[in-house]
Amino acid sequence: MKTERTKEAANRREFLRGGVRYTMLAGLAAVSALLAKKRGGGLPNQTCVNNSICRGCTVVGTCGLPQALSFKHATQRRLS
């Protein structure tokens, strides 16, 4: 009789642990999805208008593409 109770308690305990574990995992996934959505994930409506040649480009000041960001960073370091 006593062994049946301990098995039952162990099963209940494992069930609750699993439930808490998966609830926390689902919450973490939801928070990650919200943060990824909030961040934007990319640059909407941005395409290079000068074949990735930033020097002399008219929109390099407002461009957020990686090449332009690198170019702006390099030219700021040179000016400083």
Residue 16 confidence (pLDDT)? 94
This prediction's pTM: 0.44
Residue 25 confidence (pLDDT)? 96
Residue 23 confidence (pLDDT)? 97
Shared domain for 7 and 21, answered yes or no, is yes
Shared domain for 16 and 49, answered yes or no, is no
Residue 28 in contact with residue 43, Cβ under 8 Å? no
Residue that is written with structure tokens 């959505």 in the block = 37
Shared domain for 50 and 65, answered yes or no, is yes
Q: Which residue has the higher pLDDT, 33 or 6?
A: 33
Q: Which helix (H) or strand (E) holds 2?
A: helix 2-39
Q: How many domains does the chain have?
A: 2
Q: Cα dist. 63→23, 37, 75 in Å?
A: 41, 21, 15
Per-residue tokens: 50: 């000068």
Shared domain for 18 and 52, answered yes or no, is no
Percent of the chain whose pLDDT exceeds 70: 82
Range of the domain at 3: 1-41
